[in-house]
Amino acid sequence: MWGLGLEEYEKIWGLSYGRVKPDVVAYGREIMGSKISTGCKSLSGTSVASPVVAGVVCLLASIIPENKRKEILNPASMKQALVEGAAKLAGPNMYEQGAGRVDLLESYDILKSYQPRASIFPSVLDYTDCPYSWPFCRQPLYAGAMPVIFNATVLNGMGVIGYVQSPPTWHPSNEEGNLLSIRFTYSEIIWPWTGYLALHMQIKEEGAHFSGVIEGNVTVKVYSPPAQGERAARSSTCILKLILNVVPTPPRSKRVLWDQFHSIKYPPGYIPRDSLDVRNDILDWHGDHLHTNFHIMFNMLRDAGYYIETLGSPLTCFDASQYGTLLMVDLEDEYFQEEIEKLWDDVINTGLGLAVFAEWYNVDTMVKMRFFDDNTRSWWTPVTGGANIPALNDLLAPFGIAFGDKILNGDFSIDDEQSRYASGTDIVRFPRGGYVHSFPFLDSSESGATQNLLLNSGMNKADSPILGLLEVGEGRVAVYGDSNCLDSSHMVTNCYRLLRKILDFTGSNIKDPVLFSKSVKQDTPLCEDDNHLSSRRTDVNFSVYSAVIGKELICQSDSRFEVWGTKGYSLHIRGRNRKLPGYHVFDLGRGLNSSGDTTKSRRPKFIEKNKGDSFGNRYLGELDMPVLVASQWLVPVVVAITGIVLLSIWRVRQKRRRRRRSGSGRPANL
């Protein structure tokens, strides 16, 4: 077993990964060392691996002659020797081992003949190298997908400060390589010793049917000021080799979009654990990402033929017509009003499937979870529950769906699959005509536990709705009250089989006979009064942790709209609104009436025709011809048209003046 060396992992978020960490690994299992008193003892872990690497660094530094140490030895050159000399291990991926196991002799050979230079780590991104290049090697690129972002580190052994001479360039090895579009973000100034290079990779639309491997190199030229005694600047060319698998664009039904934007990043505040049965891990710090605590689910979906893309931007930043299902799991953040409006329209009119896995939310329980932190000398209180149920209820309100504030626990079975409901919530609103599954559970919330104790010391179980499935408009919605069965960090039992059935329904409208049996169809809607729905905490300044509250609605660099330059446009074609970022919905089509039915309804009150929105755009109403509105072009276009009109009027008047003068016998040029 190998312990981590040098540095720990950086947070993985969206597809904007932190640079590959750790850099190297070293022996960290049952390493013998001396006791404080006498004798020896064995130790394991990062605390053991780090001193091993420190010892390797000291030995490497000792081989450099003293008169050359200032010229050669620096943090970047030492890191280059370590990562380039490391031996790659067969099992772990790049985010588990970095460059591999530290190799003293290989690093020695590199350092003894070292010439100051810049380099990129890792120097190769190979989609064919599994499992080392996981998760990249698990899902190929294809046209129309969200950008895949890979972050590399630039190591500058030429000096403490360096500069990128010109923008990075992509050099494909063959003609097919021109199908790859790469947008770069990078450190223009490399200081101290290191910088970053991020690749935002997409396949162009003309590659929608291409299948094969794209190869080529990304090059970056770096220079540093001359060293003492030198006249010319030091320069070096860094090379990153790419080997990428590409497949034809998958069918819509197999494309799943994972909402990462509304999952609050750790650790801005106290986000409590999802399973309250786990007592020794009070913070939800695992990242809630496809490639961290949901990595087993990610692999399962890939094995089942699904393609999963990550959205790190608001819900206004994707084209719903491209995806079968939007998958929202264990989300803690709020939602922009524009997101709520667009999601409704995406489901009703565009046929998007929506699958929501919620978590517990109970204010009384959150208050009980308050604790005093000795490190910060302050009281910590949860800013939300396992999920932000009040926000989810706002998002699902147009569909007539809402979650409650119970904390349910118990075993149950669906289609002969034994499952465990671990600190999940219940469904308290659901429209008539939907399918709702209920099971007997214990309510362990503060209020629920008190009521059960008063009624019966044996804690009676009561039937609670936990799974709902609904066809609405052209789309489909599925909601489930617990995400523990998808989260590998504290999973009791998995519900991958149920997830596949849900995705079959939301993406392809394939109905499992058990999930859609007549016995669970709702003849009357589930209704809960507004006053009994979960409420937000008033004693927490949620804007400190939120990417929504008090923030601007913009598309990040992981959105296709940002990359392809379509941010801020709204295309309205024949009464159907193709929504692009920053725009309200023109017409929400069908809604839910007071009886819980899906039916034709009037446009919701929050849509005001011909009124400006927060982006300064004006609605054009129902038009028969395609209209392209671009707020950032509006002012210059109006100015240009006004100028042309005024110039035309001036020219007409000049011609008339010349005619009158010619008719009166005076020279026309007077």
Q: Give start and end residues of each alpha helix (H) in 369-427.
A: 389-396
Rg (CA), the chain: 30
Cα–Cα dist 66/444, whole Å:
68
Report the distance separating Cα 391 and Cα 542, nearest Å.
12
CA dist 235 to 68, 158, 165, Å? 19, 8, 9
Alpha carbon distance 481, 360 (integer Å)? 8
DSSP at 474: T
d(CA 406, CA 400): 19
Query: Cβ distance 76 to 1 under 8 Å?
Result: no
Of 50-54, 206-210, 452-456, 535-539, the range with the highest mean pLDDT is 206-210
pLDDT of residue 445: 82
Per-residue model confidence (pLDDT) at position 604: 33
Tokens 């943090």 locate to 75
Least confident of 272-286, 320-334, 366-380, 456-470: 272-286
**What digits encode the pLDDT tens for the residues 569-622?**
333 322 333 333 333 333 333 334 334 444 333 233 333 333 333 323 322 222
**What is the spatial distance between Cα 171 and Cα 660, in angstroms, rounded to a whole number?**
66
Phi, psi of 268 (to 5 degrees): -70, -25
Task: State the span(s) of the chain assigned CATH 3.40.50.200.
Answer: 1-113
User: Which CATH superfamily is 116-249 part of?
Assistant: Immunoglobulins (2.60.40.10)
> How many whole angstroms separate alpha carbon 457 and alpha carbon 394?
36
> Can you give the pLDDT at residue 426?
97
| Average pLDDT, integer, range 93-109 | 95
Give the tens place of pLDDT for each residue, 179-201: 999 999 999 999 999 999 999 99
In three-state secondary structure terms, 417 is: strand
Average pLDDT over residues 515-524: 96
Instruction: Please report, rounded to a whole number, the percentage of residues in the chain having pLDDT higher than 90.
Output: 61
13 — pLDDT class (breaks 50, 70, 90): very low
Stronger pLDDT, 456 or 35, i.e. the higher one: 35
Rounded to the nearest integer, the mean pLDDT of the chain is: 83
| pLDDT value of residue 371 | 86
**The predicted structure's pLDDT at residue 599:** 38
**Pairwise CA distance, residues 402 & 321, whole Å:** 26
Q: Are strands 118-121 and 124-126 parallel, antiparallel or unpaired?
A: unpaired
Question: What confidence score (pLDDT) does residue 273 get?
Answer: 78
Instruction: Say if residue 411's pLDDT is above 70.
Output: yes
Paired with 149 in beta bridges are 200
Output DSSP code: residue 208: T
pLDDT at 499 (0 to 100): 97
Dist. CA 68–CA 553, nearest whole Å: 54
Sheet containing 353-357, strands listed edge to edge, beginning at the edge strand earlier in sequence: 307-311, 255-259, 325-329, 353-357, 475-480, 462-472, 435-443, 408-414, 417-424
The CATH number assigned to the domain with range 258-544 reads: 3.40.50
Q: Secondary structure of 12-60 in the HEC alphabet? A: CCCCCCCCCCCCCEEECCCEEEECCCCCEEEECCHHHHHHHHHHHHHHH
For residues 241 and 600, which has the higher predicted lDDT (pLDDT)?
241
pTM of the model: 0.81
pLDDT of residue 70: 87
Q: Is 403 helix (H, G, I), strand (E, B) or coil?
A: strand
Q: Give residues with Cβ within 8 angstroms of 5, minimum separation 6.
A: 22, 23, 24, 25, 26, 28, 46, 49, 50, 52, 53, 98, 102
Lowest mean pLDDT among 125-129, 233-237, 398-402, 530-534: 530-534
Count the residues in the chain. Answer: 670
The encoded tokens of residue 13 equal 């978020």
pLDDT digits (tens, 9 = 90+) for 73-86: 999 999 999 999 99
Q: Supply the pLDDT for residue 349.
A: 97
pLDDT band at 456 (very low <50, low <70, confident <90, very high): very low
| 293's tokens | 């605590």
- Amino acid, single-letter form, for residue 11: K
Mean pLDDT throughout 22-28? 92
Q: Is 182:199 a contact under the CB 8 Å cutoff?
A: yes
CA distance 262 to 328: 9
Fold of the CATH domain 1-113: Rossmann fold (3.40.50)
The SS3 of residue 441 is strand
pLDDT at 433: 96
pLDDT at 416 over 90: no
Burial class of 602 by CB neighbour count within 10 A (0 to 12, 13 to 18, 19+)? exposed
pLDDT at 614: 32
3-class secondary-structure state, position 616: coil
Percent share of the chain, pLDDT over 70: 80
Arithmetic mean of pLDDT, 509-516: 96
Evaluate whether 45 touches 65 at the Cβ level (below 8 Å): no
Give CA–CA dist 549/536, Å, rounded. Answer: 13
Boundaries of CATH 2.60.40.10 in the chain?
116-249
When comparing pLDDT for 259 and 617, which is higher? Answer: 259
